Structure 1
Amino acid sequence: MKKRGVSIAVKMVALLLVIFVFEGMLIGYNVIHGDVLEYMQTNERNIFHERVVNRKNYLEEKMRVRWADIEDSTTKINNMTQKLVDEGTISLDSLDKSSESSMPLLKEASDVLISLVRSNGVTGAFLVLNTENLEEKKQEGLYEDKPGLYLHDYDPASRAWERNQDLLWSYAPAEFIRQQEFSTDEGWKTKFNFSQCGDYLPYLYEPYKAAKNTENVKERDILDFGYWGYTGINDCAQKEAIMYSVPLVLEDGTVYGVLGIDLMSEYVKKLLPYLELIDDNKDGSYFIGIQKGDESTAENVLLSGNTYMSAFSQGGETVFSKKRRTNLYR
């Protein structure tokens, strides 16, 4: 009886093993020949693509609706400037020649910059004054320092009443600083030091040139001349930042400077949580670049994550090739 019982148990186990093996082979066959693997991979790619698109849309919405909403601030500064010119308090002939000549305007405009930083949730706001033809200056190789203001906020996510200690002047005349409640930033300068770096940086040059070369510029929407760009660390910039600026234009069409905002790279990276990209995997990265004429090439701006770090070079370029029948690039 004992031998018979063992024999039956062995047979039952053997039968179960045969069933399991058969089911395993059947599942394997379906996975390989039934497009299950392809379906799973496609589903993973679609989830990944959706997460990237959602994050892209989130940033674009912030850029258009909040960060770049500086039209009202531009109007306020234009009205201030026009009033001071009409009163004879400032002169357009000497406005950008010295801090003393521009001081009345800088004092009045400072409140606009403070309000702009706070209301738009950006890391910086700046005003650069210029009434000269920058194209001619560049052709002559002449780069002059320009008066203006640059205010930084290193914690735009904090509440407004707590943020006064985070507001620092990066560029402002010494006389102006002595009358202000906010401190100066590390590396503070009295003027925008374009002579030191030997160039007029794009946030000034591009929107100013576009408005200067446009006939009847006051008939155009000032946002048509808005310029998005990027500044890395160099002789003219101490921090990496994405920047947006528009020209300042008086009633008679005189272009006399630019107003803009910045988003420091470290702050933008916090808005790109790369761990959300791939479940249970820390190898994802978000990449932001400036697309060139060829859509497959982008100028490197910033990277959030470690996957691409070894190949990423600041100021370099990245070339993408699209995978066939997918929304993925490599």
Structure 2
Amino acid sequence: MVQDALALWKKIKAKGERGTTLYLRLFVFFAFFVVALVLAFLLILNIAGVFHIGIHKSQAWFENELEHLSQDISNDYGNLSVHGVNLSEKISKSMESYLKEARVAPSGLADHPELLEELLSLQMPDLLSALQNNKCGGAFLILDASVIPQAHMRQRAGLFLKRTEPNTVGTMGSKLHCLRGPANIARENSIELLGQWQMEFTGSETDFFSLAVETSRKRSELPLSRLYYWSPRRLLSGNSEAGMLLSVPLITSDGTVLGICGFEVSSMLFKQSYSPDNSVYARVFSVLAPVKESGLHMDGGLLAGNSYLNSALGGNIAVISEEDAPFNRYRSGEQGDYSGVQRTVRLYPAGSPYQEDIWAAAVMAPREDMQAAARKGILGLQLGIGVLCLLSLLAAAFVSRRYILPVLKTLEGIKNGSGYAALPKTQYQEINDLLEFLAAQDEAVSAALAEAKTGKTPASVGTERENLKPPDLDPEQYQRFLKCLETLSPAERRVFDLYVREYRAKDIAAELHLSMNTVKYHNGNIYGKLEVGSRKELLSYIRFMHCQQKREEEEHDEHLS
């Protein structure tokens, strides 16, 4: 195997020492020129940013979606906050008026559990009106009191009304159910109880209640419009879906905090309201989540979009990095990587005790989808450049062949022994000049042969012999030529003999009744067997043969005399 490899290497090396063809050299030159132009074109496109057009389109699309998302969230959550404050003021005045008639101080409400059901029933019209006229998934009222104050787990009386058919974002036509509150109040208002209904709220599920109430008590100098609180996503016991809760304190004129009221933005409502357009990116989704450290805390946020992705991201913190600039890269543990953009959303006004809580809206998609979209943007351009390069190379091959074909035909005619003067003219002046020069040389050689055949004095013959003898021809070389002459076939020998008699190729074809292709075939074999490279070299040997024959005849005549 090694020997075969060495033999192949020697063969390639020997072929390389013979040089390359004109056609190959010209084609390589044109190909190099084409490749240089294509590379320059690619460089210009790269500088112009054409290869990043897919990324730029994706960036523009995502930023546009984020602009709409953040604007819609700011408007909707802001409007809901304003209506929540108005609802709190109405309920606070109504409850304060009721307690005044009952001769109970607001601070002593917890000591009169017998008043709670009637007090809650009086707030039902305002709560229903707020629920039906606002974009929300539910409305609630929670008091800092309980019908069962001695229960093992601290409970709180209140109402929670749910819109259980959020199949439309509209506020009319949705079916209402009661999740928390006295059953009699629900029946009086023709509201069905949910299967997960409970009469009161438990302390474990209302930590947001404690935060909102305690903060309003500590910051009593602030107006009500600065004291509302948006809780992170949570799931009440028995509720079928989680949501964000707007909690507004219920504050009487003497500063007593009776409880909270507010609205729920359910996960279903968020999905129906803020799902991004998935016609371009099938798995794109939007997020509203609190920002903690360097990530989005998905436990406390809401998502809208692909349900599989929603469940996959839930319960994880998406770590943010800038590896995919201009996009952020979000890593969700083992769930995969995502790329997208985000923007801070203000849920609280300046001066709010919760203004340090940062929320962000984001639009993102799986990272592999983004990369595929970026590649798709330039795939057509890459294919176009590839086709252009291929067509240019084919054109280079065609032009090279058309350019070099007349030269090759002329060289083939010279190799086949055709007369230089009989060869057709080309469109290249240099080749025509060469043919004229060779024809003149051929005529000079023919004239010398004719003189060599005529009788001359020994001195003149000797001079002619020296003139006709090729300068690089020695006896050994001539003897080798004679030995090679014996290897010619009979047909090749007949062609050679006619060359000795100064026949042209077309004359040989006519004399032997052969076609020109057959004569060319014999010429190739004759040149190969006699180890000559051109007709001129062959004629040199023939002249030398004539000189040898002339000298032998002269020596024979001298011997006879």
Calculate the TM-score normalised by the size of structure 2: 0.47
Look up the match of 2:302: 302
Look up the match of 1:206: 211
Moved more, 27-36 or 220-229: 27-36
State the SS of the aligned residue for 2:321: coil
Look up the match of 1:5: none
Contact 2:205 2:236 in 1 (8 A): no
Look up the match of 2:85: 71
In structure 2, distance between residues paired with 1:159 and 1:313: 30
Q: How many residues align?
A: 293
Q: CA RMSD in A?
A: 3.4
Does residue 273 (structure 1) correspond to residue 275 (structure 2)? The answer is yes
In structure 2, distance between residues paired with 1:184 and 1:98: 26
Does residue 258 (structure 1) correspond to residue 263 (structure 2)? The answer is no
1:218-233 mapped onto 2 (5 Å cutoff): 219-233=221-235
Look up the match of 1:87: 101
Which of 137, 160, 163 is equivalent to 1:150?
160
Look up the match of 1:186: 195
Contact 1:243 1:260 in 2 (8 A): yes
| One-letter amino acid of the structure 2 residue matched with residue 176 of structure 1 | I
1:49-128 mapped onto 2 (5 Å cutoff): 49-66=63-80, 68-88=82-102, 92=106, 95-96=109-110, 100-128=114-142
Distance 1:67 1:152, change over 3 A: farther
Note the alpha carbon deviations across 1:239-263, whole angstroms, 9 max, x for none: 2011111111111111110011101
Stretches of structure 2 lacking an aligned partner (at least 5 in a row): 1-33, 147-151, 331-561
Note the alpha carbon deviations across 1:254-278, whole angstroms, 9 max, x for none: 11100111011011011222334xx
State the SS of the aligned residue for 1:126: strand
Contact 1:127 1:150 in 2 (8 A): yes
Note the alpha carbon deviations across 1:22-71, whole angstroms, 9 max, x for none: 98766544333543213552343133222212211111111102465212
Contact 2:213 2:259 in 1 (8 A): yes
Distance 1:310 1:129, change over 3 A: closer
Does residue 38 (structure 1) correspond to residue 52 (structure 2)? The answer is yes
Say which one has the larger Rg: 2
| One-letter amino acid of the structure 2 residue matched with residue 128 of structure 1 | I
Contact 1:126 1:259 in 2 (8 A): yes
Look up the match of 1:316: 316
Does residue 177 (structure 1) correspond to residue 186 (structure 2)? The answer is yes
**How far apart are 1:230 and its partner, in Å?**
2.7
Contact 1:68 1:261 in 2 (8 A): no
In structure 2, distance between residues paired with 1:99 and 1:55: 45
Contact 1:151 1:168 in 2 (8 A): yes
State the SS of the aligned residue for 2:309: coil
In structure 1, distance between residues paired with 2:324 and 2:170: 45
The structure where strand makes up a greater share of residues is 1
The structure where helix makes up a greater share of residues is 2
In structure 2, distance between residues paired with 1:226 and 1:79: 17
State the SS of the aligned residue for 1:85: helix
| One-letter amino acid of the structure 2 residue matched with residue 203 of structure 1 | F
In structure 1, distance between residues paired with 2:138 and 2:310: 30
State the SS of the aligned residue for 2:123: helix
Distance 1:203 1:260, change over 3 A: farther
Distance 1:28 1:251, change over 3 A: same
In structure 2, distance between residues paired with 1:314 and 1:98: 42
| One-letter amino acid of the structure 1 residue matched with residue 202 of structure 2 | N
**How far apart are 1:304 and its partner, in Å?**
2.6
State the SS of the aligned residue for 2:232: strand
Calculate the TM-score normalised by the size of structure 1: 0.76
Contact 1:243 1:263 in 2 (8 A): yes
